[in-house]
Structure 1
Amino acid sequence: MTSAVSFKQVSRHFGSVRAVDAVDLEIAPGEFFAMLGPSGSGKTTCLRLIAGFEQPTAGSISIFGERAEGVPPYRRNVNTVFQDYALFPHLNVLDNVAYGLMVKGVGKAERLKAAEEALSLVRLPGYGARRPGQLSGGQRQRVALARALVNQPKVLLL
């Protein structure tokens, strides 16, 4: 079976700092995988490498059997829910969730329907007209999760 994510001897150096050093990793499709370690141990760098925000200094990364080095983030079927949620304060909740579909060129009716379904999935039906500033921290987190899920990514990074 092809791995959802595969690292083969992946390293990422920032000058003399080895943030990630010769990591081998296989994550199966559908698997929930958690990286644990102290601050500065390379967890976030590994996520950034999978997402394409960083490129490895050495080694290879594959996503569902396809080499990922040099593939820009927008060409990977990977979504990331950031620690600060990265919601657009000037957009309402529904438009925040639908944003990725709009960028992909999905028609308005289809993307709004998908966004409503994603909000229901995270138990926020009826919140579409609110602004992020009108939500609790937990609600903003669920909006960010809905925004990632609506794109039906092959890999979801949290």
Structure 2
Amino acid sequence: MTSNPIVTLAGVAKRYGAFLALQETDLAIAEGEFVTLLGPSGCGKTTTLRLIGGFEQASAGRIAIAGQDVTDSPPYRRPVNTVFQDYALFPHMSVAENIGYGLSVKSGRVAKAERDRRVADALAMVGLEGKAGMRPGALSGGQRQRV
């Protein structure tokens, strides 16, 4: 690795209220280096990428790209590109609302009690019980894919 990394994370962490999405992380990536973030669903891989891209604000730490501190810079001021994996979710709606959306539209509308039951069954099937009230942005990438 070169002495001047192209991407640096120094003590970067992300919280959503009391939920710790990414514990304090240090990372240095050299120009031209190939890096893979590998781990189980919910461990912080997508959160790390969203922080580097500026789509999330760090709760702690600093982010530098090409030697420039970009921690507080908006995405369009950062020299990085992002390919999203969660383009099909409504960010302003909860997980339950996203899952139940198709059951709530006018044609073929399903009664609320039945809709709630089906949403709960779907959440249980993919291991996301307890996430019904969260917004997609507070989930890991793998969790958003399951929604």
TM-score clears 0.5: yes
**Structure 1 CA distance, aligned partners of 2:31 and 2:15?**
28
Match of 1:35 among 34, 37, 54: 37
Runs of 4+ in 1 over 2 A off after TM superposition: 83-86
Q: Secondary structure at the match of 1:74?
A: helix
TM-score by structure 2 length? 0.56
Unaligned stretches of 5+ in structure 1? 87-158
**Structure 2 CA distance, aligned partners of 1:84 and 1:55?**
18
Please list, as runs of the form range in 1=range in 2, the aligned pairs for 1:3-152 lying within 5 A after superposition. Answer: 3-83=5-85
Percent identity, please. Answer: 55
Deviations 1:22-68 (A, max 9, x none): 10100110111000000000000000000000111011110011101
Kindly name which structure, 1 or 2, has the bigger radius of gyration based on alpha carbons. Answer: 2
RMSD between superposed Cα atoms in Å: 1.5
Unaligned stretches of 5+ in structure 2? 89-147
Q: Secondary structure at the match of 1:44?
A: helix
**Structure 1 CA distance, aligned partners of 2:26 and 2:62?**
9
Q: Secondary structure at the match of 2:52?
A: helix
Match of 1:2 among 4, 7, 18: 4
Q: Secondary structure at the match of 2:84?
A: coil
**Structure 2 CA distance, aligned partners of 1:45 and 1:84?**
13
TM-score by structure 1 length? 0.52
Q: Secondary structure at the match of 2:10?
A: strand
